[in-house]
Amino acid sequence: NLSSGKKLCNALQSMGTTFIKLGQFLATRPDIIGEGIAKDLEKLQDKLPAFNLNVAKNILRDEIGKENFEQIKNISEPIAAASIAQVHFAEINVSGINKKVAIKILRPNIEKIFNEELDALMLLAYIVEGIVKKTRRLKLVEVVHLLREITNVEMDLRFEAAAANELYENTLNDVGFEVPKIYWNQTSKKVLCLDRINGISIREIENLKSLNIDTKKLAKNVIQNFLRHAVRDGFFHADMHQGNLFVSKNGIIMPVDFGIMGRLDKANRKY
């Protein structure tokens, strides 16, 4: 009785991390797969099965050390879970002030699982290119190599923290755009700690309209901010799908998930 979109979603989820990533990409392209299927695949962006809270606490303690771990209070159950990591809400003590934060934690053994799946995909790409000559123009092997490069960076959350910090500093004076602050004492290879944002997902259009937020103006602001960062700074959020953008009650755009960023050199910016 399931829709074709839900069947596809369940199939991709059961096939593992690499295919979940593919589903996440497809969810951002309703122009290719249709609105209905894209809507069903949105679940793959942040609503996957989570791992246990105690496992998350053990990873936290091992990664950041006992002293920094003890500064974290009221760790919540997972509030979002994606293919590579999940997110918890908590509070940390910074210079005597309690800060509300979000803590992103990598899934256990995710690097091993992902690399095994990529090895299988690589073998498949070589076989397809070897047997069906016409597929060589698609450069399947190159695509898998690129996927491996991108995800190996995504699996070291220090890269994401550094990217978020750079975007935060670049956009401090940008009106209507707010990047959460990073807390480095609670950040490591497998853990990322940053300000908790208070907003509505940009995909919840009816909720945005109920707050009298002008969605056409909001759409324009998303594009303008993206271009500002790309052309002015040469550094931009390269994964701005609807699962990674939130909006405050007064219309401020707040991005999350800084695992995939883009850079443009001066020549390209000028061009």
Q: What is the pLDDT of residues 169-214, one digit of tens each?
A: 999 999 999 999 999 999 999 999 999 999 999 989 999 999 999 9
Q: Tell me the three state secondary structure of residue 192.
A: strand
Rounded Cα distance, 189 and 126, in Å: 32
**What is the per-residue pLDDT for 18?**
74
Question: Looking at 46, 195, 239, 257, which residue is catalytic?
Answer: 239
Where helices occur in the chain by DSSP H, the ranges are: 4-15, 17-27, 30-33, 35-41, 43-46, 53-64, 66-69, 110-131, 140-154, 157-170, 205-210, 215-227, 266-270
Catalytic, 239? Answer yes
**What is the per-residue pLDDT for 15?**
82
**What is the per-residue pLDDT for 62?**
94
**What is the per-residue pLDDT for 112?**
86
In the chain, which residues have pLDDT < 50? none
**What is the per-residue pLDDT for 242?**
80
| Residue type at 9 in one-letter notation | C
- Tokens 């993206």 sit at which residue? 226
CB 37 within 8 A of CB 8: yes
**pTM of structure:** 0.79
Beta-ladder partners of 102:
89, 194
**What is the per-residue pLDDT for 120?**
87
Rounded Cα distance, 5 and 71, in Å: 43
Rounded Cα distance, 198 and 127, in Å: 48
